[in-house]
Amino acid sequence: MSPKFFLKKAIVFFCLLCQLASNAQVCSGALGDPVVNVSFGSGANPGGQLQAASTTYTFTSAPCPPDGSYTVVNNTAGCFGSTWHTLPEDHTPNDNNGYMMLVNASFNPGDFYVDTVKNLCANTTYEFAAWVLNVLLPTACSPNPISPKLVFNIETTNGSILGTYSTGDIPSTSAPSWKQYGLFFTTPFNTNSVVIRLTNTAPGGCGNDLALDDITFRPCGPAVIAGVGVNNEKIVDVCKGNVPSMTIAANIGTGYIAPALQWQHSANSGVSWSDITGATSLSYPFNQTATGAYQYRLTASEGTNTGLSSCRVASNTVVITIHDLPAVTAAGNSPVCEKQPINLSAAGATNYTWTGPAGYTSILASPSFAAKSNSGGQYNVTGTDQFGCSNAASVNVVVYPKPVVTIIGTQKYCVGNSVILLAGGGVTYLWSPSKGLSNVNIPNPVASPVDTTTYSVIIAGTNNCYDTAIVIVNVIKKPTANAGPDKILLKGQQVILEGVASGSNTSVNWLPVSFLDNPLMLQPAATPLNDIRYVLSVVSKDGCGSATDDVFVKVYNDIYVPTAFSPNKDGINDTWHIEALTAVPNAKVLVFNRYGKIVFETTGSNEQWNGTFKGQALPTGSYVYMIDLKNGRPLKKGTVTIMR
């Protein structure tokens, strides 16, 4: 196949590429650096008129240009009654006081930006693009605002159109919105200059106002993909002192007949690139060892354009970073006393692995653990950062032994006495609580608490290390006895003795044991047949003494009811009192006069009657009584006489 045929096929490919890219507005291959970058400069507001480019619009230094004119500004605000967007800056990123072209369309469509671009590469596809913003607010020019509608033409210097693109209506937005528009075109053979023509095809009037910035030309060519290793890594992180052998390799898509290759590196994060001498193949060996970020890319152009940077397309950037090893540090709170916490800490990395004496391991940055007798020695930590780089550090820990404590354990004594607490093995002592102790700072204080108490002692030895111990002092309470209130009962009844005892570890018993169901209980049941006195005895099993108390039990054979009384307040027989009713507390007593009216009534108590009714003294005479014992026995009836 002849070289001419190859050349024709290449031309057909570029035309297809241009057409596809023009429709999609995306370069299907790789783009090169901008060979033209019109950012309109920067400076005080407003700027001067266009120098290289021409326009059919009139320049004005006013910050808000009238119809058919333009200005160059770095910001705009309040134009035409604030119907335009306020733009605090231009589109160019990080462009301090950067200019933009602000255009107010004329009533007749016309060219608002025409420029000639020189020193391009012949037979090369380029992306032409510009950033445009509709400055009109959506609320302005209601109900029919005019939207800018631009046509981009790329022409030869003799007027032949190489590419054209229409933006269609560029709508207004509620907030300022820059949008990039453009097309792809291919320069003819033996042609390295083209004309840019930007035409606003919409009529003037209310609306059709725009801002223009960042016009660029970038070469477009076959896709160039660069990477490292089998996974074609674009970002590679390695560690100083452990840099593996690496080769950056690239693949180039079809499109160039005889591509010219050139590897480049950047020393300023991709702001600018420099050719690497002799690096003109599809691969480049990486042989750096110093720390830093190294950026590489492969550029390609048609062989006929070798050496012309404006013809090159570039691969993606491959970044290989050699990271310094993390500055790992290790620290501890040495010296520490046995049983006290050892606090280690590491810094300078992301992940940590500790090893130390007695098989110690940890993955914490700041581990803490109780010191043992075998915990002293060197602790090593390996720190690894987010890039997998590791470094090591170490710290020595000294462990002082704790004092060997001796102490006499649980003590007990009778209340009112005292006991000596004994501890040893230290240099200084501190007992707590202090209540009941003769001295808190000696090894053998006298303890005399009134209640059982747990005492602790802090014993400090050499190197100010300490240990603690406890001793329980059991205080034995002396016994007390309370036989309870005296009791009254009818013969054949049962009564419960209400004994109460106190003290520690005591035994109880009643004497005599006659007629008691259990003389070893505090509250036994008693069924005596005659009056009797019981004695409660409480004895300390720990030898802390004994105590006694007695209770009298009155036994009535029957209920004796007095037949008369004399309520004359002489202190003798002034009330009618049925003493034995105490034994039957549920009994009901009623007294009637001769007319059958109740003049005295009582239930559940041994109330005494003073011969009155409703506070008035009743006359001398006989009154009928009735007593219901509520215990199954027959009613008791009779008369009682009031004698005055």
Which pLDDT does position 309 carry in this prediction? 78
Bridge-based pairing of strands 399-400 and 336-337 is: parallel
How far is 147 from 28, CA to CA, in rounded Å?
30
Task: Determine contact, residues 122/185, Cβ cutoff 8 Å.
Answer: no
d(CA 407, CA 473): 13
d(CA 477, CA 506): 9
Return d(Cα 371, Cα 376) in angstroms, integer.
8
**Cα separation values, 384 from 30, 327, 387, Å:** 38, 10, 8
Q: Report pLDDT for 3.
A: 31
CATH number, domain of 99, equals: 2.60.120.260
CATH of the domain at 243: 2.60.40.10
Verify that 55 and 159 share a domain, yes or no.
yes
| 296 and 245 co-located in one domain | yes
Provide φ and ψ at 314, rounded to 5°.
Answer: -130, 150
Q: What is the pLDDT of residue 308?
A: 77
Chosen domain end from 201, 221, 241: 221
- Give Cβ neighbours of residue 499 (< 8 Å, ≥ 6 apart): 481, 482, 483, 484, 508, 510, 522, 523, 524, 536, 549, 551
Ranges under pLDDT 50 in the chain: 1-25
d(CA 281, CA 372): 65
Q: How far is CA 580 from CA 11, 491, 559, 584, in A?
A: 139, 11, 6, 8
Residues 106 and 200 in one domain: yes
Q: How many domains does the chain have?
A: 6
Q: Could you list the residue range(s) of the whole structural domain that residue 179 is in?
A: 3-221
Same domain for 185 and 38:
yes
For tokens 């590791």, name the residue: 390
* pTM of this structure: 0.57
Place of tokens 């105490």: 582
Three-class secondary structure of residue 398 per DSSP: coil
Q: What share of the chain is helix, strand, coil (3-state, %, to 5)?
A: 5, 45, 50
Q: For strand 546-556 and strand 487-490, is the pairing parallel, antiparallel, or unpaired?
A: parallel
Please tell me whether residues 138 and 248 are part of one structural domain.
Answer: no
User: From residue 221, how far is each of 11, 20, 73, 117, 217 by CA, in Å?
Assistant: 12, 13, 35, 19, 13
The strand pairing partners of 116, in sequence order, are: 195
pLDDT at 638: 94
Q: What is the pLDDT of residue 630?
A: 87
Reference 259, options 218, 229, 223, 286; nearest CA is 223
d(C-alpha 173, C-alpha 164), whole Å: 26
The whole-angstrom separation of Cα 611 and Cα 618 is: 6
Q: For strand 564-565 and strand 636-642, is the pairing parallel, antiparallel, or unpaired?
A: parallel
Question: Do residues 437 and 446 make contact, with C-beta atoms less than 8 angstroms apart?
Answer: yes
Distance CA 342, CA 333 (A): 7
Q: What is the DSSP letter of 196?
A: E
Domain boundary among 221, 246, 267: 221
CA distance 428 to 416: 29
Which residues are within 8 A (CB) of 16 and not within 5 positions of it... i.e. 6 or more apart?
none
Q: Write down the residue that tokens 């109880």 correspond to.
A: 508
Quote the pLDDT of residue 225.
Answer: 95
Residues 207 and 229 in one domain: no
SS3 of residue 587 by DSSP: coil
Same domain, 274 and 415: no
Element at 530 (helix H, strand E): none
Q: What span, in angstroms and rounded, lies between the C-alpha atoms of 172 and 83?
A: 11
Tell me the sheet residues that pair with 624: 592, 639
**What six digits make up the tokens of 274?**
């420099």
| Beta strands, E only, 24-83 | 30-31, 36-38, 58-59, 69-73
CA distance 210 to 199: 12
What is the per-residue DSSP string for 595-629?
Answer: TS-EEEEEESS-PPB-SEETTEEPPSEEEEEEEE-
- Out of 510, 531, 556, a domain closes at 556
- Who's near 448: CB < 8 A, 6+ residues apart? 417, 418, 419, 436, 438
Peptide bond into 148 cis (omega under 30): no
Output phi, psi for 183, to 5 deg.
Answer: -155, 170
- Tell me, yes or no, whether 592 and 528 share the same domain: no
pLDDT confidence of residue 416: 86
**In which residue are the tokens 């035994």 written?**
507
Do 169 and 297 lie in one domain? The reply is no
CATH number of the domain that residue 568 is part of: 2.60.40
Same domain, 290 and 244: yes
Q: Is there a single domain that holds both residue 415 and residue 278?
A: no
What does 220-263 look like in DSSP terms, one character per residue?
A: EES-EEEEETTTTBSEEEEETT----EEEEEEE-S--SSEEEEE
* Predicted local confidence at residue 404, as pLDDT: 86
Annotate 371-385 with DSSP letters as a single string.
--TT--EEEEEEEE-
Q: What is the pLDDT of residue 26?
A: 55
**215, 229: one domain:** no
